[in-house]
Amino acid sequence: MPEGHTIHRAARRHAELLAGHEVHTESPQGRFADGAAALDGHQLLQVDAHGKHLFYRFDDDLLLHVHLGLFGRFNVYTADPPEPRGALRLRMQAGDATVDLRGPTACELMDADDEARLLARLGPDPLRGDADPERAWQRIHKSTRPIGALVMDQSVMAGVGNVYRAEALHVQRIHPEREGRSLTRAEFDALWATITTMLGDGVRAGRIITVTAEDAGKPRSRLKRGERTYVYKQSACRSCGGAVSVWDMAGRRAWACTACQR
Ligand SMILES: [Zn+2]
């Protein structure tokens, strides 16, 4: 599943290409035919991301909500898109630009009440300027659930996936199985700051690189796949060389260094 940085990048890119234009929308597959017909020809004003959710705001208060889920993906073309084929849920076009959406968990029109209900279920997104970390702290510091589960719970904090979970907890030397309530406020604040920085780097770079140039001993742009993380999919910790343990946590694999994350 894409993590929040991918979704924020998509929001920026799609806004660059389509916002300010009257957008032609269609659902070649047919599963979003009514929605696409309602949006067709309306001007796209803005694209917002919150965690893993995308909101396309059109004129006349029309709002399109998209969640990619595990299998959804976008394809973007800046000229000559291919003929629609297969399970193409939504095609949006303006000028030479085309955004295709396939296989999303959600692709639906929403009204303001639907949106408010959805946002009320989501925790703060560290990539948003209006994020209030206090809301995440209020949930975490009372919880007996492991912090590794809490940071990936989208109702606690929105946008963190499996890679950033492993890496941010590692950088802060916090073991993923520690109970949320065992974190000090200072630990939480540092963790929030690390997650914010990592996600922001991901938005800029378009990929996940958590290892600093200092730790890597070379520029981050030269890191190969497999060199970009400290513990995620590593057998030895890239901070201390200690053994990395991997186990199942709420259905997803978790990684931590046995030496530097107690
Ligand atoms: Zn280590």
List the domains of the chain with CATH numbers: 4-121 (3.20.190.10), 133-257 (1.10.8.50)
Looking at residue 15, what is its pLDDT? 98
Strand ranges inside 2-87, DSSP E: 24-26, 44-50, 53-58, 63-67, 73-77
Looking at residue 258, what is its pLDDT? 94
Compute, in angstroms, the gap from residue 182 CA to the centroid of ligand 1.
21
Compute, in angstroms, the gap from residue 256 CA to the centroid of ligand 1.
8
Tokens at residue 167, please? 């890496």
Looking at residue 221, what is its pLDDT? 87
Active site residue 108: no
Active site residue 204: no
Compute, in angstroms, the gap from residue 228 CA to the centroid of ligand 1.
15
Q: Which one from 2, 13, 57, 135 is the annotated catalytic residue?
A: 2
Compute, in angstroms, the gap from residue 160 CA to the centroid of ligand 1.
22
Active site residue 142: no
Averaged pLDDT, groups of 10, the chain, 262 residues long: 90 98 98 98 98 97 96 96 96 98 98 96 96 98 97 96 96 98 98 97 92 90 91 95 94 94 89
Per-chain residues with Cβ under 5 A from ion ligand 1: 237, 239-240, 242, 257, 259-260
- Tell me the pTM: 0.92
Q: Angle, to 10 degrees, between the axis of helix 162-171 and the axis of helix 185-205?
A: 130
Looking at residue 251, what is its pLDDT? 83
Active site residue 115: no
Compute, in angstroms, the gap from residue 258 CA to the centroid of ligand 1.
7
Looking at residue 131, what is its pLDDT? 97
Q: Which one from 26, 28, 52, 146 is the annotated catalytic residue?
A: 52
Compute, in angstroms, the gap from residue 170 CA to the centroid of ligand 1.
8
3-state secondary structure of 64: strand
Cα(132)–Cα(144) distance, integer angstroms: 22
Cα(248)–Cα(83) distance, integer angstroms: 42
